[in-house]
Structure 1
Amino acid sequence: MTASINDVARAAGVSASTVSRALRGRTGVSDEVRDRIAAVAAQLGYTASRSASSLASGRTFTIGVVVPYVGRWFFGTVLDAAEQVFSAAGYDVLLYNLGTPETRKRFFTKLPVRKRVDAVLSLLIPDEGESAALRSLGVPLASTVGGARPGFTVVGIDDRLGAESAVRHLVNIGHRRIGMISGSSGPLHWTTPVERRRAYLDVLAEAGIEHDPTLEADGDYTLEGGERAMTELLAASRPPTAVFAQSDEMAMGALRALRRHRLKVPDDVSVVGFDDHELADVIGLTTVAQPVAGQGAEAARLLLRQLDEPAAEHPGHVRMPIRMVLRETTAPPRPRGPQ
């Protein structure tokens, strides 16, 4: 005979509601009790009924996730970390990949998540109309991009501070011709390229370095784009001695372009990235490290907390730490006449 939740409760010496909370990953259950319940459930072969739980709670046990580019490293890493937290708590993920203006418009017009999800995690920055549409769902909302906005819990970093650290590092070790590979063609309403460019310009001005527009190139936040942008910078009448790439993927593309031009890093050109991609340490890339997976996991935990404690006060904006990681791709410029 199939074991019931009451059988597990009796064997574990707890109430049926405690069994339910423990197996769903809810708060209010100690680790010791949770482990005991899990062991008893496994011994008895008990599996919680999703349909029964849904009927009892009114929940779908599904989280909607909206992402602009599911195939790109940053968004994929955030999504993977968030999904692990949701899965451990007994929730499924309903993914919407809004990679084109058409799919994005269709999503926000029809809102197919309505009555199908208990909460929404947005990995894109909605405009005012899109934000209002999501708030109309009446479910907890969280995001890992952009700044604070009404109705959302936003988990992110200080993009400007991170970019300032990267460019200031290059200035401090003696570089005066500092190029930048940006990503102006990113997702709609994406503020990251704007904030990082402002930081680049601010640090140059602070150091008394005149801005040269020929030392900026669009890398599309991809490896191929970074290679193309670096090739463009090398074609300038006075190429840079150092380059700040707004993402590690673009920095990797820049390194490939430099290698193909028979230039040495950092002897001929220094390169600094942003993210601390999983391959950054392998290739010795100096970069600004941000907890990409950590942002996804924290946003997921905060959404689950809102579902478990709807009456509690929840943060509107959580800022995660960043740090400068010095590796082998940056060094003082070699003496070779005026820069």
Structure 2
Amino acid sequence: MAKRPTALNMADLASRAGVSIATVSRALSGAPGVSSQTRQRIKDLAQDLSYTVSPDAARLARGSNGRIAVVTPDVAHWFYAAMLGGIVTALHGTDLDVLLYEVKDERERRRFFEDLPARRQVDALILVALPISDDERRRLDLMDVTVVMAGGVLGEHPHVRIDDVTAGRQAATQLVRAGHRRIAMLNSSGTWSLEYAAPSARLQGFTQALEAAGLEVHPELIVHRRWGSHGGVEGMSDLLSLPEPPTAVVTFSDEVAFGALRTLRRAGVAVPHTLSVVGIDDHHLADMFDLTTVHQPVAQQGAEAGRLAQQILQQGDVSTPHITLPTHLVARGTSGPPPQ
């Protein structure tokens, strides 16, 4: 019985090409540091010898694991799914593998960070809009790996985000310019014990817009409810029960706006003729609801975070580690002038 031919390894290919194993690894993975002539010669030789790159051998040769961990509170929700899709798209075609960790509740998040030292098999962590405690931040620093925050800020670590203050100001300014004077904000509290930065930042932008127009910010018109459509249902019910309801409402997010619109529909309140609603995010269903909203580029934030992580791993540094992407208002049918 004929013996099977012995499979070539990277050392064999390096020996036949007259170069180092590291050069072969860089040439076949597309990494910089190899001349175009040498790269092509190695690729041609690998093809002639039917050589297939072993991922583990390539990683060993370059002294890294070749893995990026993405940590997200949710994989099903549109925001996190869009962010994850952007990260995966940006890393597609590279020699980096993506490991996904979902931490839905406090217990799972604590366990993830308690086990963090054992996760040194990754070269980078991308955190997707995840609130982090001071103790968890110290654990991240002890890992000595690249950490990138997508959809938020984490100290001096590289990040990609939007300016939530600007988003809140853009939403409220739309209503001020339409002539509204009694404007409410239906804000949100997160599902974590740790505080999200976005609610306070968007409220700050909302307040700035009203004060710049010389309008009073009425405390009874600032309502905080649990994040999500159910919070929008409850919060809008509270606003409608006031002796003098608002003529316009800015909601923390589009999901909150969807719940608020349901309450208004069931109460027989005409939108926007009696009450206008403006959301923030530009959810993929916002157009179907004809919702005026502030668009934020969610998938692009994920893609930029993925590229940041890749560039830092390949180059050791980047010229712009902190990226803030612009937001803009999308005017649709839920906003208009106040009732006469």
> TM-score when scaled to structure 1?
0.84
TM-score by length of 2: 0.84
Among 76, 83, 90, the alignment partner of 2:81 is: 76
**Are the structure 2 counterparts of residues 256 and 309 from structure 1 closer, same or farther at C-alpha, using a change threshold of 3 Å?**
same
Partner of 1:302: 308
Deviation of the 1:29 alpha carbon: 8.8
Equivalent position of 1:138 in the other structure: 144
Runs of at least 5 residues in structure 1 that lack an aligned partner in the other structure = 10-14
Partner of residue 258, structure 1? 264
What is the aligned-residue RMSD (CA, Å)? 3.3
Displacement after TM superposition at 1:130 (Å)? 1.6
CA deviation after TM superposition for structure 1 residue 147, in Å: 3.3
Deviation at residue 192 of structure 1 after TM alignment: 0.3
- Equivalent of 2:244 in 214, 233, 238: 238
Q: d(CA) in 2 for partners of 1:141 and 1:42?
A: 37
The equivalent of 2:59 in structure 1 is 54
Whole-angstrom distance in 1 between the partners of 2:112 and 2:309 = 21
**Counterpart among 155, 175, 179 of residue 160 in structure 2:** 155
Give the one of 193, 200, 223 matched to 2:199.
Answer: 193
Say if 1:38 and 1:229 are closer, same or farther in 2 by CA, change over 3 A: farther
Contact map agreement 2:21 2:61 (CA 8 A) in 1: no
Percent identity among equivalent residues? 40
Question: 1:12 maps to which residue?
Answer: none
Checking the alignment, whether the CA contact within 8 Å between 1:149 and 1:316 is kept in structure 2 is no
Report the residue type matching 1:332 in the other structure.
Answer: P
Amino acid at match of 1:58: G
Which residue identity does 2:213 align to in structure 1? Answer: A
Q: CA, structure 1 residues 240+45, in 2 after alignment: closer, same or farther (shift >3 Å)?
A: farther
Once the two structures are superposed, what CA deviation does each residue of 1:95-114 show, in whole Å capped at 9, x if it has no partner?
22222222222222221553
Q: CA deviation at 1:182?
A: 1.1
Contact 1:216-1:233 at 8 Å conserved across structures: no
Contact 2:86 2:302 in 1 (8 A): yes
On the 8 A contact 2:25/2:62 being kept in 1, the answer is: no
Q: Does 1:175 align with 2:180?
A: yes
| C-alpha distance in 2 between matches for 1:264 and 1:47 | 65
- Tell me the amino acid that sits aligned with residue 299 of structure 1: A
Q: Counterpart amino acid of 2:78?
A: W
Q: In the alignment, residue 202 of structure 1 is paired with which amino acid? A: Q
- Assess if the C-alpha contact under 8 Å between 2:10 and 2:57 holds in 1: no
Question: Which of 1 and 2 has greater Rg?
Answer: 2
Report the CA distance between 1:90 and its aligned residue: 2.7
How has the CA–CA distance of structure 1 residues 109 and 7 changed in structure 2, closer, same or farther, with 3 Å as cutoff? closer
Q: Does the 8 Å contact 1:166/1:287 carry over to 2?
A: yes
| C-alpha deviation, 1:25, in angstroms | 5.6
